[in-house]
Amino acid sequence: MRVLITGSGGFVGSHLTQKLLDEGYEVIAGSTVLTEKKSKSNLKKVYLNVNDKDSIEEVLRKYNPEGIINLAAQSSVAKSWEIPEETLLVNVLGTLNIINSMCKNTPYAKFINIGSSEEYGLTAKNGEYLTEIMPCLPQNPYATSKLSAGQLALQSAKKHGLNILHVRAFNHFGPGQRLGFVVSDFASQIVNIEKGKSPSVINVGDLSAQRDFLYIKDLVNAYTLLLESKKLDLGIVNVCSGVPRKIEDILKYMITQSKREITVNLDSTKLRPSDVPFFVGSNGKIKETVEWESTVEFNDGLELTIEWWRQN
């Protein structure tokens, strides 16, 4: 199967590219930044900017992908308060541009749009396991953009008879995730302290929040299985562990992995205008749809991530 990944140079994109290559797929790796590395026979690195319609047309016409996974996004909740316009431009209009081009050039392709648990917003406050049929009450520009993109994608599927599914990915982490996401922020600071590059203080934001995390390996495995599934009209599918974790507990465990004494400082600049206190998803639908289970113990994932920061 020939699969186009948009945003292939990002954290999830690069792990997914490698996973699909390992599984024998032909990957068209779309990115706004083209590296020097030469393409291999089963990997084509192409320029693709979801806000540049010509670049999408060119890639779809030339490579005729049978699957498309849209990972091109402004993915930071915190940043979406600073750059709401860009967040909407990339996440909403970018998605629409791909679907419009797909409708014209590759209407047979399977399109997986990657959304977010953030779409549920305040509905999550009830503390219930979020299922795909629950209402969404997004609380920040990022969440609004992902909800809009998902709705547009599913409307287009209905209108044009396209095979589109919208994934609501909950939090994820692992080697290669950039700064600005909680596990990377903690791991990088811990390693800088270990290396003597900074004083023994770790700056943190809201530690009371609870989130549902998957290690990157389990996340890209879920995306691959959904890509392979022959089931149609799946609509929205949560990808999550089903286990809520308090950010404070994650921090405590990560600090135990360091040989240094570390003190914690609440950095008010890391607090957000509104932070949903609790997110936990139901993974019943994905488990009914494909044979997926999370396989990496959460603390093992944290240790692998800290180790990656030590080596990089």
3 state SS of 113: strand
223 binds ligand GDD (CB under 6 A): no
Distance (Å, whole) CA 163 – CA 184:
35
Of these, 191, 247, 254, 286, which contacts ligand GDD (CB under 6 A)?
247
User: Closest Cα to residue 275, out of 217, 206, 213?
Assistant: 206
The mark string for 133-172 relative to ligand GDD (x by CB under 6 A, - otherwise) is: ------------------------------------xxx-
Which residues face 43 on adjacent strands?
A: 27, 40
Of these, 116, 144, 224, 283, which contacts ligand GDD (CB under 6 A)?
116
Smallest separation, CB 196 to ligand GDD (Å): 21
Smallest separation, CB 108 to ligand GDD (Å): 29
Smallest separation, CB 112 to ligand GDD (Å): 15
Residue nearer to ligand GDD on the CB measure, 64 or 131: 131
Smallest separation, CB 272 to ligand GDD (Å): 6
Of these, 88, 124, 157, 209, which contacts ligand GDD (CB under 6 A)?
209
Q: What distances in angstroms separate CA 229 from CA 91, 278, 292, 294, one per listed residue?
A: 25, 31, 11, 18
Q: How far is CA 35 from the centre of its chain?
A: 22
211 binds ligand GDD (CB under 6 A): yes
Residue nearer to ligand GDD on the CB measure, 252 or 270: 270
Distance (Å, whole) CA 16 – CA 286:
18
Smallest separation, CB 98 to ligand GDD (Å): 18
Distance (Å, whole) CA 231 – CA 222:
15
Smallest separation, CB 85 to ligand GDD (Å): 18
Smallest separation, CB 165 to ligand GDD (Å): 16
Lookup: tokens for 176: 């290669």
Residue 68 phi/psi, 5° resolution? -135, 130
Distance (Å, whole) CA 54 – CA 98:
11
Side-chain half-sphere of 72: how many Cα atoms within 13 Å?
29
Distance (Å, whole) CA 206 – CA 270:
7
Residue nearer to ligand GDD on the CB measure, 28 or 236: 236
Q: Give how many residues touch ligand GDD by CB under 6 A.
A: 23
Distance (Å, whole) CA 42 – CA 106:
20
Among positive and negative, which fits the CA dihedral 120, 125, 130, 135?
negative
The mark string for 177-206 relative to ligand GDD (x by CB under 6 A, - otherwise) is: ---xxx--x------------------xxx
Of these, 118, 215, 294, 301, which contacts ligand GDD (CB under 6 A)?
118
Q: Using CB under 6 A, list all residues that contact ligand GDD.
A: 75, 77-78, 116-118, 169-171, 180-182, 185, 204-207, 209, 211, 247, 270, 272, 275
